[in-house]
Structure formats: structure tokens, C-alpha cells
Structure 1
Amino acid sequence: MLVAFLLRALPFRRRSLRFSADLALVAGLVALFLTPFTIRIFVVPSISMEPTLRVGDVILVDRLPSFFGIAPSDGSIVVFRPPSEVATTDFVKRVVARSGDTFALVDGIAERNGRAIREPYLANPPAYDLAVSGFSLDLNGEPLAGNLASIPPRSQWASGDRVPNGYALVLGDNRNYSDDSHLWGFLKLRGHIVGQAIAVVWPLSHIALFSLE
């Protein structure tokens, strides 16, 4: 009561400044509380994303989009849980195609929806061909097979040459040294995407921000 009376007695400008300060404090406390739930710190474990990400790089991962079921955009870098048959630790790769996209990688050139993808971040051209075809994922002209092959049932496919609904293709920027979709197939989004990389924060010599488009 006393505080309210004093605030009413203050000149309008002082009350405005006080309100702004209180609002900033509340916003800061909310951000401090929510950050552990919305931002995750991830340490890059392998060379699969070089030169974009190097072993030991510390990155910040935005968890909000996956929490709300928002699919990652084409070209974004994501941290995810791979199929359980592949590994039990989280991976970090780049999304190259999403649900409904066509995708083909031939002679080192990747095409999505009939257009070549500009990929200046690649370490080296891939030494394999890859294509979504015939309700499967073809590696060097042959459908992926075996226990590790993550191929959704046909009920998930809108078309045999497009990425199935609720799935994505993910590849490492270091294409020839990456355990990714070209070896084990499609990544299921629901329950597997941890979040999208937004920045490298360590080491200082490698700090970078990533687009969230």
C-alpha cells in the first residue's frame, strides 16, 4: 500500500522509469527461468559437420520450435536423437530435405524440388549418389536395406519420390565422413528433434551465428 501511494505521488516521468525498470526486471527473471528449458548447450562430438562445426565446438540449441512441433527449415542445423538402432547419443547434422520435398544427389550436386542446392559449406563433394525414389532411399542406385534402414511405411508417403510425411533427410557437411541419412535413411521428426543450432559460442575464435529462416 505504501509503495503504491509513493509511486502515485511521484512525477509521471519517474513512475514511467520505475515501471520500465520493473518490467525489465520481470522480463529478465522470466528469461532466466525459461532459458534452461528453451536453450540447450551441445558439444560437437565428431568431424561430420566440418568445416562448419569442429570437434569440441560448443553450440547453443533452440528447443522451442521442436517443443511446439515446428519442423526445422531446409538448410538448418539440428541436434537430434538418431534411430535407436544407429546410436544412443545425440547427433548434429544439416537438414537437406523435408516432408514433401524431392531430393537427389548425383555426381556431387544436390537437387531439392528440381533446383540445385548451393552448398558453400561442404568440406568436399560427396563420393556417393543418393535419391528419394520408389518409396525408399536409394544409395548409389540401390535401395537402403538392412536393420539400420529407416524407411517409413507407405502410409506415410504422399508420393514415392518425395520425403515422407513427418520425416526429413539429414546429412553432415563433411559428407564422406558422416553417419547420417545416406547410411541409415529418413529421420523421424516427432520425438527425435532436440532443437535447432543457433550459434557457436566456444571457442572464441570460432564464434558464429546461424540463420533461423
Structure 2
Amino acid sequence: MTYEDRDLTTAETDGGSRSSVSRRPSRGRAALPVWQETLLLLAGALVLAIVIKALFVQAFYIPSESMEPGLVKNDRILVEKPSYWFGGTPARGDVVVFKDPGGWLGPEDVSQASNPVTQLLTKVGLYPSGGHLVKRVIGVPGDVVECCDKQGRLLVNGKAVDESAYARPGGNGCDPGTAGVCYGPMPGVKHWKTPPVPRGMLFVMGDNRAHSADSSYHLCTAAETDCSDSPWVASDLVVGKVMAVVWPASKFRIEHAPDSFDEVPSR
């Protein structure tokens, strides 16, 4: 056995000073104080939250009863953004969150939280934000939307759409002789029809058809001679598609687009 072998054996088996020296802490960089590590972790979490909000998922709350019965006022929802990446656009039936096209929101809808902590959490996506609208896409570019057939159903490109699974109809507003419900009520108007939806635009409606200031509400009718409203929502104002209801916990569910529009022909 060489000198080096004897020395190694002694260091591995001897519980004395040699073994203690072998376990001496390295002379590398000293550990950060706990408070500094905590600040770094918080900063990293904030950066991650901002990235997630900007690119992937954002939390919102429902501001009104316009999307009942499915989405109730003050429900918390998650909106996903990747579906509309790389040229993807909203499809008929999608429930989308979008920025105000101009004058659609009232003062109470654009008010911001006064609590500084809540404001910060909202900005980084950790608290549901307001100031946006939530509606269902009814018409995409080229579509013509019309109210209504004899059963009170909307027509999209001449095809009646059965929305009874998710929409709440109004009790009037359709042509005389309908079944007593109307999925496109407009005060004082029995029948309405849109021009083709322009390129880059959408025609949207709330599911609570008698209580939603949506595209049909802002539609200029043939009887109006001085009308500057626009019923369209630009696709680039869309933040994303509703993917889930997360609060109240008893209502948690994943949202899926209905098949109501599957047979609507393109124009």
C-alpha cells in the first residue's frame, strides 16, 4: 500500500481531524440573507405573473347580467389567449372578452379599484380586472345576421340557429306570429338585418338577449335617418376566449363552444 493509499484510507475511516477537514464548507459565495431571498422570489413571481397575463391567461369578472344564465354578475372567469395566436380569429359561438369599441361601457363599468394592493394585483394579472365586455360571437366577417324566423331564432347567412342551450330569449321584439320568444329583441323593432360583417370585425351578442347592450343594440336600423353607432367589434380588440368559470367554486367548469353554429354556411 502506498503512502497515498494509507492516507486516503485514514481520511475515510478516521473520525478525527482528517475527516473533519474533508467536510469543511466550501469557500464559495455566502448564502443570501432570508429577506433578500424572499424579495428575489417575490420579484420572480411578479415577472412570471406578468408574462402569463400578457401571453397566456388573464382573470376577469362578469360586470353585468348580460351573459345570464350561464355567466352571472361577479362570476370570476379565466380567459385564454393562445387560441387567437398566429392569425387565429374568434369563431361563431365563442364567448370572448374585448376592450370597449367606443361608448359601449358606462362610467360604472370602467371604474377602477381604489385599493392600492388590488390595483397592483390587477395589473400583474393576479386579481380579476374590469373595464372590458363579455359577449358571444354571432357573426364573423362576411356573415349576415337577421332576426328572426317564426320560432324566434336568429338567422345567420339564412340558417336558423338553435341557441336554447345557453341563451335567454326576450318575450317580444320579433315578427308577429313567432312562438312567443325572441332571440334577437330590439326595442321598437320587429325585424332587423345586418349588412355583411366587415373584414376584421365581429357581430356579438349577450346571452341575456333582452338585457344586453351589444351589437344588435348598436345596430342602425332602416328607420333611423341619423345614426352614427357601429355594431361591430374589431377582432384586434379581443383579449381572448373564456375558458373557465373559477368562482364561485361551486360553479367551476370548463367552457366549450356550442355546436349551434356548425351548420351555418359561409358566404
TM-score interval w.r.t. the shorter chain? 0.5 to 0.7
Assess if the C-alpha contact under 8 Å between 1:58 and 1:201 holds in 2: yes
Give the Cα separation in 1 of the matches to 2:191 and 2:209.
19
Structure 1 residue aligned with 2:154: 110
* Correspondence 1:211 to 2:211: no
TM-aligned CA distance change 1:169 to 1:190, over 3 Å: closer
Structure 1 residue aligned with 2:5: none
Which of these two proteins has the greater Rg computed from alpha carbons? Answer: 2
> 1:126: Cα distance to partner?
6.0
Of 198-207 and 62-71, deviating more is 62-71
Residues 159-198 of structure 1 correspond to what in structure 2 (within 5 A)?
161-185=195-219, 186-198=231-243
Structure 2 residue aligned with 1:83: 101
TM-aligned CA distance change 1:143 to 1:109, over 3 Å: closer
Give the Cα separation in 1 of the matches to 2:168 and 2:98.
22
Structure 2 residue aligned with 1:9: none
More strand, by proportion: 1
TM-aligned CA distance change 1:142 to 1:63, over 3 Å: same
Higher relative contact order (CA 8 A, sep 6+): 1
Residues 7-156 of structure 1 correspond to what in structure 2 (within 5 A)?
34-37=51-54, 38-87=56-105, 89-106=131-148, 108-119=152-163, 120-125=165-170, 127-129=172-174, 140=189
Assess if the C-alpha contact under 8 Å between 2:201 and 2:233 holds in 1: yes
Assess if the C-alpha contact under 8 Å between 1:79 and 1:90 holds in 2: yes
TM-aligned CA distance change 1:184 to 1:113, over 3 Å: same
Q: Which runs of 5+ in 1 are unaligned?
A: 1-28, 131-138, 145-159
Assess if the C-alpha contact under 8 Å between 1:170 and 1:181 holds in 2: yes
TM-score in terms of structure 2 length: 0.53
Determine helix, strand or coil for the equivalent of 1:35: helix
TM-aligned CA distance change 1:78 to 1:169, over 3 Å: same
Assess if the C-alpha contact under 8 Å between 1:69 and 1:190 holds in 2: no
> What amino acid is the match of 2:141?
S
Structure 2 residue aligned with 1:10: none
Of 41-50 and 66-75, deviating more is 66-75
> 1:122: Cα distance to partner?
1.5
> 1:64: Cα distance to partner?
2.5
Give the Cα separation in 1 of the matches to 2:233 and 2:102.
11
| Number of residue pairs aligned between Structure 1 and Structure 2 | 160
